[in-house]
Amino acid sequence: MFVDYLTVMLVNMIAGLVIMALFVYRYLDAERRKVAPGFLMSGSLSLVTGLHMILTWPLPGSYNIAFGEMAVLFGLLFLFLGIAILAEWDLLTLAIYAVFAGAASIVIGVRILNRGMTSAPLLASGGFVLTGIAAVISLPVYYLRKYRLVRILAALALLGAAAIWAGVGYLAYWGHLESFAKWVPDAMMRVKPQ
């Protein structure tokens, strides 16, 4: 049996998407520093776990690509968003990066549904697609940020994606606590009781 840490990656993404929704709705043009710590935390955890996943492939097959590579892109984007906010850099290039990462997320979401991957393909597909759409529209949202309705719609897309991932992530915790209840590390299996 393989052991994975996808659950913590999913809950981290939920938190990051909610922080991003708050940022887009409330802090895009003022008091940005208030959300920087949340972006730095979410981005760091996503980058570390995503890199580990794509370098070691702890999951079966292409799940490592779908979840690991997207975690790396999400992590880089959020980590550098936190840094850019603290350094008071312009966010244009991050919005451009988000468009390409979002397009990859949409492709992965469609392919997950097409291949019937995960225990809930429709839910996982929806999570990837809506997260991707929220990322793809980040560039127009950045340029149209003066319009409150645009920020509200973008924040709602982010919250919708977070809600979908919450369904996936918290159900995964529920299932993992049962399926891994009797799991024993290899080192312990080799030790004979005396």
Report pLDDT digits (tens) over 62-102.
Answer: 999 999 999 999 999 999 999 999 999 999 999 999 999 99
Q: Does any domain span residue 65?
A: yes
Q: Does any domain span residue 186?
A: no
Please state, in angstroms and as integers, the Cα–Cα distance from residue 136 to each residue in 8, 48, 59, 88, 121, following that order: 25, 24, 28, 23, 22
Inform me whether the pLDDT recorded for 44 exceeds 90. yes
The model's pTM is 0.91
Q: Does any domain span residue 73?
A: yes
42: closest CA among 165, 183, 156? 165
For residue 99, give every residue at least 6 positions away whose Cβ sits within 8 Å of its Cβ, in sequence order, or none.
135, 136, 138, 139
Print the domain residue range for 45.
6-177
Of the listed ranges 97-111, 117-131, 170-184, the least confidently predicted one is 170-184
**In the chain, how many H helices and how many E strands?**
9, 0
Q: Does any domain span residue 183?
A: no
Q: CATH number for the domain including 82?
A: 1.25.40.600
> Residue 55 and residue 129: Cα distance in Å, rounded?
25
Domain count within the chain? 1
> Residue 184 and residue 189: Cα distance in Å, rounded?
7
Mean pLDDT of 169-174: 88
Q: Does any domain span residue 192?
A: no
Inform me whether the pLDDT recorded for 130 exceeds 90. yes
